[in-house]
Amino acid sequence: MQLYMLGQDTGYIQDETNIGFYIFPDKSCLLIDSGAGGNKAQEYLDLLQEQGLALRAILNTHAHADHCGGNAYLQEQTNCAIYASSLEAFYIQNPFMAPLTLFSAHPPLVLANRYLMPEKSCVSQVVSAGEWHYEGVCFYLIALPGHSLDQLGLLTPDGVAFIGDSLMTDTMVKQFGFVYAVNIEQMLASFQTLLQLKKDTQIIVPGHGEPFRDLSSKIQINQSLVEEITAFILEQLEEGLSRETLLERTIRHFQLPFNSSQYYLIMSTLSAFLSFLMDERMVRSRASNGQILYQRIAKTGFKIFPPVLPND
Ligand SMILES: [Zn+2]
């Protein structure tokens, strides 16, 4: 775990989840996300204190446990403020909603684990996309829904953009080769939003992996992956399949890690793809012999993916 500066006042702690920070003139700082839990959070506090920095507030990009899992500890230790978008704030303050959403009812214990359910913390104020004036500094909050319901990115005045989990790095795409999403249409729209950032942004910090500058090529890689998953699903749905059968085939085809948590996470993503394709009138569902079956309507002729222009 190490701390790096990326701009005059902006830096990040490199860890499994990247933790951003912005330093105010009085040496207090805003943290962008809080990592996976208490032990990590204490290490982040130690690192900040070594630099003479005091934690003033946390901005959470989204409510996944590896991004807001340190909130409760840091708030208890420093009484820092916490900022998040409306829907993510709801999940941060009601952490059981994450496993409940995945299970679609009161979740079994196996889903109420620290990877899916962060400790509860208190959001001081809800923020939304657009200019955010905080402590005399003008930040820009970027709406990046899709990976989660109401994800926000943050652009600092010195041109560093923290984009949560809206993009995966090339390495992650190669190693994992799948996405986590709740809304595919919004995920694609967020790629287009990120493209617009290019003129104001020097460097981009993803939630996981190395910071980068080549935004267009990263977006292209991520969109290609969404296109590849879509093509796979459409190919499978030539015959009517249940979600369970589609899930089994998807796990085998993409060689995905598999356990109880992954089952629900991948099922949730597949559901997002199915509703996207149904909204696009490419797939329909029907009830048949105690199952809901999903089937492709048309083979080709749809243009659902906007172009990503390679002009970095
Ligand atoms: Zn996430």
CA of 82 to the centre of ligand 1 (A): 18
Predicted confidence at residue 300, as pLDDT, reads 58
Contacts of residue 7, Cβ cutoff 8 Å, sequence gap at least 6: 156, 158, 159, 160, 202, 203
Structural fold of domain 225-296: Arc Repressor Mutant, subunit A (1.10.10)
Q: Structure tokens of 304?
A: 């659902």
Asked whether the beta carbons of 278 and 297 are under 8 A apart, the reply is no
CA of 52 to the centre of ligand 1 (A): 30
Burial status of residue 128 (CB atoms within 10 A of its CB: 0-12, 13-18, 19 or more)? exposed
Contacts of residue 53, Cβ cutoff 8 Å, sequence gap at least 6: 21, 23, 27, 28, 29
Alpha helix segments (H runs only) across 104-179:
170-176
Domain spans of the chain?
2-166, 225-296
CA of 161 to the centre of ligand 1 (A): 16
CA of 220 to the centre of ligand 1 (A): 20
Predicted confidence at residue 100, as pLDDT, reads 96
CA of 233 to the centre of ligand 1 (A): 23
168-220 per-position pLDDT tens digit: 999 999 888 999 999 999 999 999 999 998 777 889 999 999 999 999 999 99
- Comparing 54-68, 267-281, 288-302, the range with the smallest average pLDDT is 288-302
Q: Is the pLDDT of residue 292 over 70?
A: yes
CA of 137 to the centre of ligand 1 (A): 27
CA of 66 to the centre of ligand 1 (A): 7
100-148 per-position pLDDT tens digit: 999 999 999 999 888 899 999 999 999 999 999 999 999 999 999 999 9
pLDDT-based confidence at residue 301 (cuts at 50, 70, 90): low
Q: Is the pLDDT of residue 302 over 90?
A: no
CA of 147 to the centre of ligand 1 (A): 7
Q: What is the pTM of this model?
A: 0.95
2-166 is a CATH 3.40.50.720 domain: no
CA of 277 to the centre of ligand 1 (A): 23
Q: Which residues surround ligand 1, an ion (CB under 5 A)?
A: 64, 165
Q: Is the pLDDT of residue 72 over 90?
A: yes
CA of 303 to the centre of ligand 1 (A): 28
Asked whether the beta carbons of 282 and 302 are under 8 A apart, the reply is yes
CA separation for the pair 35, 86 (Å, rounded)? 20
Provide the pairing of β-strand 152-155 with 137-143.
antiparallel
Predicted confidence at residue 310, as pLDDT, reads 59
